[in-house]
Amino acid sequence: MDFPILSLLLFSPLVGVLFLYLIKGDAETINRNARHTALFTSVFVLAVSLLLLMGFDSNEAGFQFVENRTWMPSLGLAYHLGVDGISLFFVVLSAFLTPVCILASWSSIKTRVREYMIAFLVLETFMMGTFLALDSFLFYVFFEGVLIPMFLIIGIWGGPRRVYSAFKFILYTLLGSVLMFLALLTLYFQVGTSSIPELIANPVARNIQMWLWIACFASFAIKMPMWPFHTWLPDAHVEAPTAGSMILAGVLLKMGGYGFLRFSIPMFPEATEYFVPFIYTLSVIAIIYASLVALVQEDMKKLIAYSSVAHMGFVTLGIFSMTMEGLQGGMFQMISHGLISAALFLCVGVLYDRLHTRDMGRYGGIVQNMPRYATVFMILMLGAVGLPGTSGFIGEFLALLGVFQANILVAILATTGIVLGAAYMLRLYRVVVFGRVTNKDAGEMSDMNQRESAILISIVLMVLALGIAPNLILDRTSASLQALQTHYESHIQSAHQHGVLIKEKISTDIGTDYHE
């Protein structure tokens, strides 16, 4: 396909930003037109992403729709884009959640509306670039660029402690990213290219892999976030506006998992094998610890934030099991969690817009006056728990199945997270929806309006559709994940054979010297 569909995806939001800058009129006119311009732009990007999805060949393991143009010839850097089964659904997820976030902010954001919409469209470009880039330095530009609009969204439109949370968010993530940049520089000088496919095809020596894996891990683990690098997340979620929490949980956390799949595993296979027990340990701690912390939260946003840490633990367990079931489970869980967590944060936002508190104790008995909301919230809560028939079940089941094949003890420990997850989500639902009415204002809240209903019902339908027909995702990711697994296993097998040969040679040399 000669048409540059990936460049269209990448730069369309920036065209929308240009139109936003050109809007003239009084404050009310600017705000109204800014909302409609941003929504139209994001819907256009979503339509293009669906065309990409329909044109994608699910039998092809390599990169498709590739665009490769020289960017800095003296340095060998290129404007190199492509999409495979690993990145495809992250692109679609980003394109879907952006208009959802704009609609979620339609009436709640009343100040600096144009600047807010600009921040979201710029954020969409950086998200797209992260998942489409096939040049390591181009990837780094987009991967880090995401921090700028997200920092502004939290710092300007967030809650009372927004400045503290915004700086904590950016300092944490920048710290890890500096180490990743050093790793990318090392790869560039070692292999002589910044092309991601070439770096994957030519892994560096094992001793170098160890250091580079640690450097990349620092960045990706903070981004996901893994325990104990998660402490920035609850603060960021609590202070971010509703749409900021939705895009943070829905897409930005997935960049860490994507980094593991795109960089850590294929580029450093021997180091990955060595650090698998380390990943298992952190993931199990994350699942159990974050679930226990979520169990005692009274702030609804904090509870969902800690649940995200636990769910990302299942993702890393599945990915690093390096079984086909585990890889597919990790991928599926990231997409599923992106939809469910974004919708749960919107559910909290719906209540917050009416009562202006996130304390679950201030609500109770809202099933009487908000039956539509109670129904939607129930389905999303059950999806987060992993009830069969929802997308959450497919991701957790496949991830645990993969881990069980690799390490039975780890799988058993991780399974406790499902029980704890059911405990804290059912507690949240019981207190808020069926709890004792302690606040008269909660009993007078209006049910979801048409805009809120349309957003949440559309996500609910997707969660149910993926739970019933998971092959919508599994079929399109299997070829690329199979290629990743084959690549990893071939390098590990080769490394083991090389190690055996060296040991045999040493033994032979020692025996020869002894006889002499």
* Number of domains the chain is built from: 1
Q: Which segments of the chain have a pLDDT < 50?
A: 1, 502-504, 506-507, 510, 514-515
Burial label, 187 (beta-carbon count in 10 A; 0-12, 13-18, 19+)? buried
Question: Could you check whether the bond before residue 470 is cis, i.e. omega within 30 degrees of 0?
Answer: no
The total of other beta-carbon atoms located within 10 Å of residue 15's CB is: 15
Residues 332 and 258: their CA atoms lie apart, in Å, by 12
* Matching residue, tokens 């104790």: 361
Give the sign of the dihedral formed by CA 81, CA 83, CA 87, CA 90. Answer: positive
Amino acid at 111: T
| Residue 60 φ then ψ, to 5° | -95, 125
Residue 29: what pLDDT?
84
Alpha-carbon torsion, ordered 238, 239, 243, 247, to 10 deg: -70
Q: Are 38 and 117 in contact (CB under 8 A)?
A: yes
Q: Domain range for residue 194?
A: 5-515
Separation of first and last alpha carbons in the chain: 68
Spatial neighbors of 504 by CB under 8 A, at least 6 apart, are none
- CA angle in degrees (0–180, nearest 5) for 111-112-114: 130
Torsion of CA 485, 491, 494, 499, to 10 degrees: -120
**Unique residue bearing structure tokens 């660029």:** 145
* Structural contact between residues 439 and 362, judged by C-beta atoms closer than 8 angstroms: yes
* The pLDDT value given to residue 514: 43
Ordered alpha helix ranges (H), 322-449: 324-355, 371-385, 391-406, 408-429
Cα separation, 411 vs 407, whole angstroms: 6
Question: Which of 234, 259, 231 shows the shortest CA–CA distance to 248?
Answer: 234
